Amino acid sequence: MTDFNTIFPDWSLKIDEISNNVYQFTAINKTGSQVEFTDSDYDTGKKRILGEIFDLEIQISKEINKLIFDTFSILLDGNLIKDKKYESEIFGSWIIRLKNRRIILDGKESILSLEKKKGLLSTDWIDLKSIQIRDGLKYQDIEMIINEI
Residue-wise pLDDT tens digits, 90-124:
999 999 999 889 999 999 999 999 999 988 777 88
Residue pair 17/6 in contact (Cβ under 8 Å)? The answer is no
pLDDT, position 123: 82
Q: What predicted TM-score, i.e. pTM, was given to this entire model?
A: 0.85
Length of the chain equals: 149
pLDDT, position 2: 52
Which candidate, 10, 43, 42, places its Cα nearest to that of 27? 10
pLDDT, position 42: 95
pLDDT, position 1: 53
Question: So where are the chain's domains?
Answer: 2-60, 64-148
pLDDT, position 145: 95
pLDDT, position 4: 77
What sections of the chain are H helices per DSSP? 2-7, 42-60, 64-75, 139-148
Which candidate, 139, 144, 147, places its Cα nearest to that of 68? 139
CA gap 125, 141 in Å, rounded: 21
Per-residue DSSP letter, 146? H
pLDDT, position 60: 86
Q: Which residues of the chain have pLDDT under 70?
A: 1-2
pLDDT, position 112: 97
